[in-house]
Amino acid sequence: MLAAILTAADFGAAAFAEHTVSQKAREQFKLTEDPSVTVHGFPFLTQALGGEYGHISLSAAGVPVQDVLRDVELQAHLRDVEAPLSDLVGGKVDTIKIGTLEGQVKLKDSDIARVEPLTKIENLKIDPASDDYVLNGGSDPDTPTTIEPPDESEDDASAGVRMSGTLQLAGEKLELYCFAMIELDGTAIHITPERLQFGNDGETTVVPPQVQKALLPNFKATVDTGSLPFEVTPKAVRVEQGAVILKGEAKNVSFAGAGANAGG
């Protein structure tokens, strides 16, 4: 019985700390709902009394960034965290010190479609593509489903992407597949289109060079992402189905800078 009472007390204390951090993060990220916060490790009270935590994770959705993006997802893993219990109880989370911060931003294709000139593309969809396929094509260009995505274990400052959608031209709707490279540039990503294919009932055909020259600029864009949680500068980019993922890491940061570049 005593063990059950102590366990319940431990979980209750952890829940209180998580709620405190969550409310502060909500203010800084200008969210409509509290983000999810988890203090890992058991027992919590042992960590709290010592003021040191091995791992705290935070995730939030629907974060507005740079007046254009409206549905950004944030994830942060805080490791080797120093937070005196008295400060947590008093809600003074600005004093939290973080030894290592791993941050991640997820940009959905529906949000990227808000960026000019991609607003001209209807029903914009994003899928991964290998750098080689983007730059050189494949042995069977009529079947885009044969594209091999990059190894998810490899993070780099650039990534291949296949963008698809319809474009109005001379009163007609064209179904297009654009193969492009995404490159990090500080807190922005540049989308550089390399080539196009026409789509038609699941099959594709190569777009003539002169037509490509006229249409490719519709897929060239720069997305200003602000920065990762806690002012982490993005260092790696990866494309998955429906989204672009940015990652970064920082050492010895404070909770006070959590939402410095978020906001609409």
Tell me the pLDDT tens digit for each residue of 116-164: 999 999 999 999 999 988 988 764 444 444 455 555 555 689 999 999 9
Q: 129 and 180: one domain? A: yes
The percentage of the chain sitting over the pLDDT mark of 70, rounded to a whole number, equals 79
Q: 131 and 93: one domain? A: no
pLDDT at position 206 is 78
Q: Is the pLDDT confidence value at 192 over 60?
A: yes
In a domain, residue 122? The reply is yes
Which residues in 168-196 are b (16+ Cβ under 10 Å) and which e? eeeeeebbbbbbbbbebeebebebbbbbb
Q: 169 and 206: one domain? A: yes
In a domain, residue 248? The reply is yes
In a domain, residue 263? The reply is no
Q: 101 and 124: one domain? A: no
Confidence of residue 208 (pLDDT cuts 50, 70, 90): confident
Confidence of residue 201 (pLDDT cuts 50, 70, 90): low
CA-CA-CA-CA torsion sign (170, 175, 177, 182): positive
Tell me the pLDDT tens digit for each residue of 79-123: 998 888 777 767 777 778 889 989 888 999 999 999 999 999 999
Q: 214 and 249: one domain? A: no
At 17 the three-state DSSP class reads helix
Confidence of residue 66 (pLDDT cuts 50, 70, 90): confident
At 192 the three-state DSSP class reads strand
Q: Structural domain of residue 177, as residue ranges? A: 110-226
CA-CA-CA-CA torsion sign (119, 122, 128, 131): negative
CA 91, CA 94: separation in Å to the nearest integer?
9
Q: Is the pLDDT confidence value at 6 over 60?
A: no
In a domain, residue 17? The reply is yes
Q: 69 and 156: one domain? A: no
What domain count does the chain have? 2
Nearest to 206 by CA among 220, 195, 216, 194: 195
Q: 100 and 115: one domain? A: no
Confidence of residue 71 (pLDDT cuts 50, 70, 90): confident
Confidence of residue 198 (pLDDT cuts 50, 70, 90): confident
Q: 30 and 71: one domain? A: yes
